[in-house]
Amino acid sequence: MKRIFIIMIAVVFAAVSCNTEKKEKGNPFFSEWDTPFGVPPFDRIENEHYLPAIDSGIVMARQSIAEITGTEEAPTFANTVAKFDRADEFLSKVAYVFYSQTSANTNDTLEALQMEIAPKVAAFSDEVLLNADLFGRIRTVWENRESENLNEEELFMLDNLYKSFVRNGALLGPEDQEKLKKLNQELSVLTVRFSQNVLAETNDFRLVIDNEADLKGLPGSVITTAAEMAKADGMEGKWVFTTQKPSMIPFLQYADNRDLRKKLYDAYLNRGNNGNEFDNNKIVADIVRLRADRAKLLGYRTHADIVLETRMAKTPDNVLNLLNDLLDRSLPVAVKERDEMQKIIDAEGGNFRLEPHDWWYYAEKLRKAKYDLDETELRPYFSLDNVRDGAFAVANKLYGITFTPVNKIPLPHPDAQAFEVKEADGSHVGVLYMDFYPRESKRQGAWCGGYRDHQVIDGKEITPVVTIVGNFTPPAGDMPALLSMDDVLTLFHEFGHGLQALFSENAYSSTTVAWDIVELPSQIMEHWVTEPEVLAMYAKHYETGEVIPAELVEKVRNSSYFNTGFDNVEVMAASLLDMAYYSLEAPVQVDPQKFEKETMKKIGLIPEIEPRYRTTYFLHMIDGYDAGYYVYTWAAVLDNDAYEAFREKGIFDQETAASFRKNVLEKMGIMDAGQMYINFRGREPEIEPLLRNRGLL
């Protein structure tokens, strides 16, 4: 469905200004972008430029829709659906920049603007989705679809467009439509506030260490980074750690001071749960209640039923069957891991039971004891630039594409890098930005986004502008950014999303992606990370240039099942928590802290493991992956099965790579997801490769 009207990442509603011409003057959104490859002129875009451009964009969109509904011509795909697809061109141009920047480079002004825009976004989305004349024309085209000579993409697009209008209230009566509008407006404000609260809580906490003895156990590189962070905060001579994972995880892994490990981890767990102005408990309760009410109003049992209707999973039961099966297989493995770590504690005379904040510390000791592998041995071989180039090299060997640095080009942030992506024959594919380092203006985690999507307008191909954003440990002193193995996997993961965006072959901006499969392109890329042939491409010591030794590679591969119980259990726990909230039937009144505790007890989660995300900072559950965090696990079935195809013929087999590109990467959002996979694999996916690769068989 239209990104602008359904996903709501590219539309805003604002009153028309009587000073339009004045506002257009000097505003870069109102002129053609004379930049390399037509990328946004970030260096000329100011905060005050967004709303005036959005004002005009909404007027243009309204006018386009009025032209569609005002014609006396009989509805056809060309004069209704195709024109509707183009209605938001200018608006999208503005909104893609705005929403990408509010995620990666926000400020107080942009945050205030988000809060102002959110209810207006919902209002305009409803205005479009509940436009009876527009829906009537789309419905007529849908009912007469067999009479038009539509291609596969157009048929898929039309079917999903019609069903999306229905799913968003087009068939409701006037009174119920008004109720729906109110629910949507309330939700739009609450979801923005939730995200902003998590960012504020993340930025507010600092673990400040002024006693060098408290650094005992930490690697030198971690200490150096903490010192640099303290210096940047005006605390030279001290050390600072935050709840950003690149800072927190090494501290939890190596710091001998157990009390400080607990302090840092508790601060992470309690983000949004501190009873202050950024507390998210009531916000979550309201979001869950409103989404349940919305589902009931639309004729669905639960919010999960709405979400899953367009997914491969189809029903909540199918999701729960997969998650519970994997949880049942993973819990005994996690219990064994816990017991092994408890033995280490007992042998050291610890005289305490393992707790959640201890897991990383003793897991690292267990890794060294079982596999003679200390992660600090790996980091020197994983400099960020080398890992990035390794991902580029894998893509080159698979698809023949190249990545050329572009120096004289506007950047979304000074930390960002830009690359032109080209086919083997030198033809232009798109532009790729990469923005790797944490900052207070950037939300947590890693993601792939875009400033422009692929489409075809009046026969002209519009090439994509893609951005990959991360929060990796930055360089410190003379030392480059050094990644952990998890960081390496994350970079390859987001790069996989980037490849899909770059290879997309959609002709229209309206796409419908089944989110069960959206993580396939990203997760399959992780399989190449530890292949010896691939490690030789990028795992080179940052000082000597020495390729990672074969014996160290062997240790990495031997330890591939290490901590798999923990990894699987914390993901299943978070996924089941998400599904539990959105499987509630209206009316709903929930106490998030009580509900989370009861849900974890019900699934049998052991007390030594917390869900990967707890309720009050579970951004996925609120902001796009609602009733959808399971998709990482569903896609894991797909990516493990798909990688078997590469293993069978060779991990760089050109025929397999070409098939994966043609049938999966290029078709995302313009073909049924199940059919896409069958076209690539020749059959339905099988779960055995996942179980085998995770040591769960």
Active-site positions read: 494
Residue 26, both tokens = 């000097």
CA–CA separation, 385 and 376 (whole Å): 18
Give how far the C-alpha of residue 191 lies from the chain's centroid of Cα atoms, to the nearest Å: 16
First to last CA, the chain: 40
Are 45 and 96 in contact, with CB atoms under 8 Å apart? no
* CB neighbourhood size of 219 (10 A): 17
Alpha-carbon distance of 172 to 298, in angstroms, equals 8
DSSP labels for 43-103?
GG--GGGHHHHHHHHHHHHHHHHHHHHH--SPP-IIIIIHHHHHTTHHHHHHHHHHHHHHH
Q: How far apart are CA 514 and CA 424, in angstroms?
A: 30
Element (H or E) spanning 578, and its range? helix 564-582
Taking the C-alpha atoms of residue 323 and residue 616, their distance in angstroms, rounded to an integer, is 22
Q: Is the dihedral of CA 80, 81, 82, 83 positive or negative?
A: positive
- Find, among 78, 216, 44, 71, the residue nearest to 151 by Cα: 78
Structure tokens at 553: 């590679």
Q: Rounded distance, CA 387 to CA 468, Å?
A: 14
The residues near 592 (Cβ < 8 Å, ≥ 6 apart) are: 281, 284, 285, 615, 616
Unique residue bearing structure tokens 């610890």: 350
Closest CA to 271 of 250, 244, 293: 244
Scan for tokens 């608006």, then name that residue: 91
Which positions ≥6 away from 522 have C-beta within 8 Å?
448, 493, 494, 495, 496, 497, 500
